[in-house]
């Protein structure tokens, strides 16, 4: 089951994307890898890297960075941004359900709201792939959209918690989107031996609407 949705090629061609990583990712990378004696020896992978905001940050911090995405437009913009600042990173086009990397390749794998843009079966497969490419003891980070967030229950239902053609909220026009229930997380994350979950919440429209994400951190 491929995870790549062609709608993202349109999204990256028509929208100006964020230029900076979320604070939650910065905290994870700094806390988990910031004290490495040689950051250039720490290999970090971002799945669904988009236009490269997180790769840009991790490369600036001196880590050895790889970004994977299905959109050639997004990858071109990511390369252009890092090249303009003389930063080094490797970018690859591929599907999150079938990562083109050998087992145990990375010290860390990160995801910013890319895994959630799939059906439940694909999400489970992607998380297994993330675990496969992590080194023993490697770190994993993900932001996953929470059940009940703005847009949940709207559009066209595909399966429990999964919608497409969402007509309102920040996930409008982004194809398949899953709003994860807490009860789903243990089944998905059970492939990773030790994990913790927190919540990040943001309000919109003068607090009339709310979007929350599960903050997942784990060790392989």
Which pLDDT tens digit goes with each residue over 119-148? 999 999 999 999 999 999 999 999 999 999
C-alpha–C-alpha distance, residues 156 and 158, integer Å: 6
- Model confidence, pTM: 0.95
DSSP conformation class of 182:
G
* Residue written as token pair 């990375």: 106
User: What band does 4 get if pLDDT is binned at 50, 70 and 90?
Assistant: low
Does the pLDDT at position 8 exceed 90?
A: no
User: What band does 85 get if pLDDT is binned at 50, 70 and 90?
Assistant: very high
Which pLDDT tens digit goes with each residue over 156-175? 999 999 999 999 999 999 99
Does the pLDDT at position 12 exceed 70?
A: yes
Task: Give the pLDDT of residue 2.
Answer: 57
CA dihedral 81, 86, 87, 89 (to 10 degrees): 80
First-to-last C-alpha distance (Å) of the chain: 24
C-alpha–C-alpha distance, residues 144 and 215, integer Å: 7
Task: Give the pLDDT of residue 145.
Answer: 98
Does the pLDDT at position 3 exceed 70?
A: no
Does the pLDDT at position 189 exceed 60?
A: yes
Reading the block at residue 172, the tokens are 């409008």
C-alpha–C-alpha distance, residues 185 and 2, integer Å: 21
Which pLDDT tens digit goes with each residue over 49-77? 999 999 999 999 999 999 999 999 999 99
CATH class of the domain at 7-219? alpha beta
């Amino acid at each position: 089951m491929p995870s790549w949705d062609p709608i993202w090629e349109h999204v990256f061609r028509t929208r100006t994307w964020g230029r900076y990583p979320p604070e939650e990712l910065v905290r994870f990378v700094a806390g988990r890898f910031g004290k490495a004696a040689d950051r250039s020896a720490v290999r970090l992978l971002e799945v669904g890297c988009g236009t490269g905001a997180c790769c840009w940050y991790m490369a600036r911090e001196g880590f050895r960075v790889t970004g994977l995405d299905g959109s050639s437009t997004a990858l071109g913009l990511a390369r252009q941004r890092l090249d303009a600042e003389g930063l080094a990173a490797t970018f690859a086009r591929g599907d999150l359900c079938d990562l083109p990397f050998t087992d145990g390749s990375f010290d860390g794998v990160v995801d910013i709201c890319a895994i959630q843009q799939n059906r439940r079966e694909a999400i489970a497969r992607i998380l297994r792939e993330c675990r496969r490419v992590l080194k023993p003891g490697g770190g994993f980070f993900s932001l996953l959209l929470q059940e009940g967030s703005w847009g949940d229950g709207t559009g066209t239902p595909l399966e429990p918690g999964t919608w497409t053609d969402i007509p309102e909220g920040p996930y409008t026009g982004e194809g398949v989107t899953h709003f994860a229930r807490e009860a789903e997380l243990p089944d998905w994350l059970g492939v990773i031996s030790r994990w913790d979950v927190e919540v990040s919440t943001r309000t919109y429209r003068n607090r009339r609407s709310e979007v929350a994400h599960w903050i997942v951190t784990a060790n392989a």
